[in-house]
Amino acid sequence: MNVVIAGGGTGGHLFPGIAIAQEFMRHDPQTHILFLGSSQGIETRVLPTVGFPLKTLCSRGVRGKKVIQQGVALAAVLVACCQALGHLGAARADIVLGLGGYSSFPAVVAAWVMGIPAAIHEQNSVPGLANRILARIVQNVFVSFEESSVFFPRSKTIVTGLPVRQAFSPQPLPPRGRFCLLVCGGSQGAHALNCAMAAALPHLSDCADRLWVLHQAGRDDAEMLRQQYAACGITAEVKPFVDDMASWYRQAHLVVSRAGASTLAELALCGRASLLVPYPFAAGNHQERNAQVFAERGASQVVLQQHLTGEQLAKLLRKFIDDPERCATMGRNALTLAKPQAAADIVAACYRMVKKAGLEDRRQKSEKYSVL
């Protein structure tokens, strides 16, 4: 089967796609996978390391721009749709999956034009505008949270959870001893979270012999944080980006992070306690809604960014450091939210979609666009 997965820009849109691609290959090693993404996105660096090919589209966002910029962005979307038509035809695509990000919309529209079965995955509890529009033209809508089902047609919607890469799996907490804190602002880092952590460190210097930190900081703040950890005498490994995040989860007692859907799915599957600081400018405030789901199940503590100070963060962290059993309890609660079969359920649904549509008919329609 020929599968096209569209989406990227950030890890939150890319990593679920990789998980689905890995599951397709596990099910049938002869599957042909093609990713459609952006030349500026994280996918250009990550996909070569996992062995999946990438074609890029020139699409860009429309919302939140001035009128002239919106016109340019809309023109880029039209160009991207034409590019997607060509890529889908050349790949003889049997199915297209939209995972969000600027490349998802033109790819799914192109699939609709060509009569190729298509589905989207909504990672967050509150869907964005693009997925609400695309839901009208796809065969299935996969959602991470039961709460988001109300935004989509009931007959198309399947609650699958969010697919997580094969490297992630349930892990026991590391031995009690030196407390390991993992700080992660997502694939691009989080400046506000980095600054709060830097301000918290002087208040934690007396815990230096009981604490060590793993910190994915993003490119801009990494050196500043290294200097601040060293100045406070706290052992830390600071990296701009971490390819093997699963190994960092295995070492952590507590994770401090944003509340993107991919991060929460990883926390749940690994069974890790978390202190969540939702990104306040996320569309529809979806990160705060995501975080509330975990907080209500006792898996996370939530702190809004506008209330976050270095002193407050230090006080919260000290409570976790002094009470390791609290981390263990929250980690067990997180495991109850895990959906380890998410990728397998999505792949199974895709096979049903392709079978229902009829492979040969799809391929005949695809061939006439392969010259674009």
Q: How confident is the model at residue 355 (pLDDT cuts 50, 70, 90)?
A: very high
Q: pTM score, two decimals?
A: 0.84
How high is the pLDDT of residue 252?
A: 97
204 and 114 share one domain = no
Q: For residue 352, give both structure tokens.
A: 């049903």
Residue at 169 is within a domain? no
279 and 144 share one domain = no
55 and 39 share one domain = yes
231 and 360 share one domain = no
Residue at 173 is within a domain? no
Full residue range of the structural domain in which residue 312 is found: 179-335
Residue at 355 is within a domain? yes
For CA atoms 296, 297, 303, 305, give the dihedral sign: negative
Q: Indicate the Cα dihedral angle 109, 21, 41, 82, nearest 10°.
A: -30
Q: Give the C-alpha separation, 361 to 86, whole Å.
A: 18
Query: Are 19 and 163 within 8 A, CB to CB?
Result: yes
42 and 136 share one domain = yes
CATH number of the CATH domain containing 258 = 3.40.50.2000
Q: For residue 50, give both structure tokens.
A: 């996992």
Q: Give the C-alpha separation, 78 to 59, whole Å.
A: 8
Strand order across the beta sheet in which 2-6 lies:
54-57, 32-38, 2-6, 95-98, 118-122, 140-143, 157-159
Alpha helices in 142-278 (DSSP H): 191-200, 222-231, 245-251, 261-270
Tokens 């009569």 correspond to 115
Q: Give the C-alpha separation, 99 to 17, whole Å.
A: 7
Q: How confident is the model at residue 102 (pLDDT cuts 50, 70, 90)?
A: confident
Model pLDDT for residues 105-140, shown as the tens digit of each residue: 999 999 999 999 999 999 988 898 899 999 999 999
Model pLDDT for residues 178-208, shown as the tens digit of each residue: 999 999 987 667 899 999 999 999 999 999 9
How high is the pLDDT of residue 306?
A: 93
Query: Are 201 and 234 within 8 A, CB to CB?
Result: yes
User: How distant is the alpha carbon of residue 109 from its chain centre?
Assistant: 22
How high is the pLDDT of residue 9?
A: 85
148 and 190 share one domain = no
Q: Give the C-alpha separation, 24 to 10, whole Å.
A: 22
Longest dimension (CA), the chain: 69
Indicate the burial class of 195 (C-beta count within 10 angstroms; 0-12, 13-18, 19 or more). middle
147 and 283 share one domain = no
Model pLDDT for residues 84-94, shown as the tens digit of each residue: 999 999 999 99
Q: Is the pLDDT of residue 69 over 70?
A: no
251 and 144 share one domain = no
Give how many domains the chain has, as a whole number. 2
Residue at 149 is within a domain? yes
H or E element, residue 78: helix 67-91
297 and 349 share one domain = no
